[in-house]
Amino acid sequence: MKKTKIAFFDAKDYDKQSFMDSDIKGEFDVTYLETRLTSDTVKLAEGADAVCIFVNDDINKDVIDELVKMGVKLIALRCAGYNNVDIEYAYGRIHIVRVPAYSPYAVAEHAMALLLTSIRRIHKAYIRTRDFNFSLSGMTGFDLHGKTVGVIGTGKIGRIFIDICRGFGMNVIANDKFPAKDSGIEYVSLDELWQRSDIISLHCPLTDENFHMINAKSMEKMKKGVVIINTSRGGLIDSEALVEGIKARKIGAACLDVYEEESDVFFHDYSNHIVNDDTLARLISMPNVIVTSHQAFLTKEALTNIADTTYDNIRSFFADDKCPNEVCYKCDKAGKCPQAHEKKCF
C-alpha cells in the first residue's frame, strides 16, 4: 500500500518526537523540515500529498496556488486556529483540516499559571532567592478570591478557564458571539466586560471582526490596574496601545503567551542576538509583563493528541474521502457549509 507523503514544516524536536511516537506513523512517509512554509519555501513541498503546518506558517494566495500546481491535496494544521490560512481563497482549490481540541486543559491551566505568577510575583521571588535575597519588598500581590474575571470566548478552553476561576472563588462574566446554552455563565456586552473586569482573559479565535479588540479605546473603558491575559492569538491586542496603557498605569499587568508579530521571533533562540522588534523588547523589559513563547499548548498530553488527530485527519481525507475536522470558507461563516462534514466540503 502506497504511503501518504507529508511535508512537515516548522518542525521542532518536540513535534518530531510526538509524531514519531504515534502508533499509526507507519502509514505515512513524513519529511520533517525546520523552515516555515512561506512563498519562499513552498517548493520544498514538491512531491508531497499533504503539508502539515503550524501557527506561524504563512498560507497566502501565492502559497496556495503553488501547492495546487504541485499536486498537493491537503493542508493539515496541527493546531486549532487557522487565521494564518487564506481559507476564502483556498475554497475550491485545496482542502484544509485542523486539530480543534488537543488539550483545552493545557491552555486554560497555562493562562491561570501566568496570572498567578504575575500577581504573586513568583517569577521575581524565584530570581531573588537564587541570589539568596529573601527580602519581601515589592512582592505584595492581591487575592483572586472575590475578583471579577471577564472571559472573552467560551469554547472548550474558555469554559475550562472559567471553571478554574470559579475554584478560586472569582466572579465570572463573559462575552461570546455564540453563547454556550444552559452553561450558567453570565454573558455581558464587551463594554460592560471592559468596565467590570479586574482581570480579562482572551480565549477566542482571531478574525477580521475582533482584530485589535483590545486597543486604546477599549482600554479607556477598563478599570485602572486591570490584568490582561492572552493565550489565544496575538492580533487580538494592539501591542503599541498595550505598551502605552502600561506606561500610563492603566494596565496593571499583562500575561502574554502570544504576540501579534511573533512569527519571526517565537520558537527560536535569540539569546545571543539583537531582537529587532522594539515593541516586544519594550514589553519584555516591563516589570509587570510576563511573556511566554506560545507554549500554552505544550504538554505531553496535548502533543500526543495533536499527532494522533493530525494523522487521523490525513488518513480519513485520503482513505475515506471525508474528514470531520475539515474547515472551509463556508464552515467559517457560522457553519453554513452544506456538507455538514458528512463528506468533503467541496
- Residues marked as catalytic: 233, 262, 294
Question: Quick check: 206 and 218 in contact, CB under 8 A?
Answer: no
